[in-house]
Amino acid sequence: DGGITQSPKYLFRKEGQNVTLSCEQNLNHDAMYWYRQDPGQGLRLIYYSQIVNDFQKGDIAEGYSVSREKKESFPLTVTSAQKNPTAFYLCASSIPNGNYGYTFGSGTRLTVV
């Protein structure tokens, strides 16, 4: 079955450490996205990539970094510069431009202690 795989489901890290969240898709989608979900704030866009080797900042990119070396993969690194990293992170993919909606992964809940 085609879909998006995010791993791990739960992740714990100590403050000050960088951590990388995995996102893999086998839908042959060109575009991929990272969102952060916090209670009462909906989903906010962190980074997105319309094509391999290219990506753009979203609305809350500070303290995060991404790479897009392969079409199937779009890992997100939460750096120590992110002031409030504890959150639920969602990865999504779509056909180019995303006009027909996104497919979402099941998310990674990151807790920084």
Partner 1 sequence: AQSVSQHNHHVILSEAASLELGCNYSYGGTVNLFWYVQYPGQHLQLLLKYFSGDPLVKGIKGFEAEFIKSKFSFNLRKPSVQWSDTAEYFCAVISYGNNRLAFGKGNQVVVIP
Binding site for partner 1 (CB under 8 A): 31, 33, 35, 40-45, 48, 50, 58, 90, 92, 97-102, 104-107
Closest approach, Cβ 82 to partner 1, in A, equals 20
Instruction: State phi, psi for 84 to the nearest 5 degrees.
Output: -140, 75
C-beta separation of 65 from 79 below 8 A: yes
Closer of 17 and 96 to partner 1 (Cβ): 96
Closer of 19 and 92 to partner 1 (Cβ): 92
Closest approach, Cβ 54 to partner 1, in A, equals 12
Side-chain-facing half-sphere of 103: CA atoms under 13 Å: 18
Closer of 13 and 44 to partner 1 (Cβ): 44
Residues 6+ apart with CB under 8 A from 99: none
Closest approach, Cβ 15 to partner 1, in A, equals 27
C-beta separation of 33 from 60 below 8 A: no
